[in-house]
A and B are shown apart, each in its own frame.
Chain A
Amino acid sequence: MTKLLSFSKISFKEALSYKFEVFLWMVAVPVGLAVYYFLWKSIYSYTGQEVIRGFTLSELLSYFVLIEIVAYIVWSNADQRLARKVYTGDLVVPLVRPVKIYFNYLFHRFGRLLFFIPINTTIFAFIGIYFFDMKAASLAHIGLFVLSIFLSIMLVYSFVFLLGISAFWLKDFTGLHLIKQGIIWLVGGGLAPLVFFPKLAQQILALLPFQYMLYAPAQIFLGNFTMTEIYQVLAIQVIWTVLLCVFIHFAWKKAMLKFSGVGA
């Protein structure tokens, strides 16, 4: 454990040098939220309904704030890091360490989160509470939301890591990395709550892991799931993560047979 925590410590120290980047991010994201505000305000007032598909305007805007918070926390670039190491041949260095590379990058991410979570959550919580009257359904929902975010970190990380392994076979990984980002955003609930999608699309998406990455934690916070549904979501998050870890195990074995350590 001490070995793993040392990755987190280094990562936290690295993050401290990105203060200005963080500030710039904090300028960019509220612009996107402001666009959502004007767009949906106009739609609600033109439609003349207070509630659309179970969301009041204030709840919908809170949803978008929560999506930003969750996306920021669960985001991972482990795939890019892994791909870079494969292309340069530098992967041999983490391979000789007494820690599995999966945990190496995971704990590196935890270190970053120690830096980003307090800043990110404070700013977005302020925007959500002050401008959009954002509130959790109950204290228990906040606890379950936190648990769900943790499971979502594991789920997204495992998914991203598995994709990163494809770098052993691909000449350039950037295309797949971009596809991953687009898909998670589009069908993970970043575009709009999934209950806004047609029924058939919702049924198909329920079979995939993406809605458990962003959408589900946000819905838990807002109290739009019953307790039974929440426990189901948490169980599905665990199942998907375990399943992805099994895939990672086999894919990694294949990848190691392919890896030569030669790079540019």
Chain B
Amino acid sequence: MSWFNIWRGWVKLEISKLMAYRFNFVLKSIAMLIFGIGGPLIAMIIYNISSGIPGWTFEEFLLINGIFIFIAGLNHLLFESMTWRIIHKVRDGSFDVRLVKPISALIYATITGVELEGLSRTFLGGIIIVYSLVKMGWAFSLINLVSFIFLIFLAMIFMYSIDVITTALSFLVVKSYALMDIFREFTHVGRYPITIYGTTGMMAFTFLFPVGLAAFYPASAILGKIPTITIFYLAAVAFAFFGFSILLWKLAIRKYSSAGG
């Protein structure tokens, strides 16, 4: 069975679950919107009571927030549930079942990470992005748009790597869901322009823990604020981070003891 078939089967299952608990799906989607709306709300508050963030207008700041919500939503939609599913399975020892399947445990976890509740947040992020671009009178530029789409792809690689690192650590720290909260807090560093963290912070959040990819760099790309060469550096960083996450997964899975309950 190809990966795509498994993925399709999983999505079908998710849709049937959604149909069985339609009202709960609506409630969860509303909850995701409430969590998402915090970004634009804080933007409005900041620009209402102060001069805002140096170097960023209200619309640009909103754009960064919109991109962050969009990326977080897309990650929720496609991959994020693999983290809590695996943490749960490691905790009760049922991860063994995954290991005996004729497919890599990581690939299986990835393609069964779809959770449709992420749709509402992705949609909200998309609306905020379009709204802020229209509001600022963004002049169409093909090169900026292509750079933006490519950086969104890199952002997804970064978010996926975070999911892989979280699940990998669950093999080492068996008893904890708090890992998810820790990494969520760390990724939230990227929901504001990383220029606020000073030069050292910017370097760290670009090369060491590239959370700038989650919103700042895609926003800078569509606004034409970064040179093309930087995008190549960012691609190298994103793929290196991805490589690190896979390596960590491979090392950590050896520690899985199958003892749970």
Contacts and interface: CB of A to CB of B under 8 A. Distances in A.
Which of A20, A41, A183 has the most chain B CB atoms closer than 10 A to its own CB?
A20
Given A29-B185, A175-B27, A191 B50 contact: no
Contacts of A21: 175-178
B175 A172 contact: no
Contact of B31 (A39, A172, A182, A197): A182
Contacts of B49: 52-53, 196
Contacts of B68: none
A48 B49 CA distance: 12
A43 interface: yes
Nearest to A197: B45
Contacts of A27: 182
Interface stretch (A30-38, A118-126, A146-154, A216-224): A30-38
Nearest to A179: B31
A38 B24 contact: no
Contact of B173 (A20, A175, A192): A20
A60 to B, nearest CB: 11
Given A28-B185, A42-B54, A170 B23 contact: yes
Contacts of B24: 170-175
A203 interface: no
B41 interface: yes
Nearest to A35: B189
Dominant secondary structure at the B interface: helix
Contact of A182 (B25, B34, B54, B186): B34
Interface residues of A, number: 41
B201 interface: yes
B247 interface: no
Interface string A38-78: 11011110111100110000000000000000000000000
Q: Output the residue of B49, B52, B189 with the most chain A CB within 10 A.
A: B49
Contacts of B188: 31-32, 35
Interface size classification for chain B? 35 or more
Given A43-B46, A172-B24, A186 B37 contact: yes
Nearest to B35: A182
B196 A28 contact: no
Contact of B28 (A52, A174, A191): A174
A25 B178 contact: yes
Nearest to A33: B185
A175 B25 contact: yes
A176 interface: yes
A98 interface: no
B96 interface: no
A191 B43 CA distance: 11
Contacts of A173: 24
Contact of A186 (B38, B50, B51): B38
A186 B176 contact: no
Please indicate which of the listed interface residues B30, B42, B181 has the most CB atoms of chain A within 10 Å of its own CB.
B181
A47 B50 contact: yes
A141 B52 CA distance: 33
A178 interface: yes
Nearest to A19: B175
B111 to A, nearest CB: 23
B164 to A, nearest CB: 18
B15 interface: no
Nearest to B197: A38
B6 interface: no
B23 A39 contact: no
Contacts of B48: 196, 198
Interface string A186-202: 10000110001110000
A52 B50 contact: yes
Given A32-B185, A175-B24, A186-B34, A43 B176 contact: no
A93 interface: no
Contacts of A32: 185, 188
Nearest to A24: B178
Contacts of B20: 171
B21 interface: yes
Given A31-B189, A52-B50, 20 more contacts: A20-B175, A25-B178, A25-B181, A32-B185, A32-B188, A35-B192, A39-B53, A42-B53, A43-B52, A43-B53, A46-B54, A52-B49, A174-B28, A175-B23, A175-B24, A175-B27, A175-B28, A175-B31, A192-B45, A196-B49
5 contacts: A24-B181, A29-B185, A46-B50, A46-B52, A47-B52
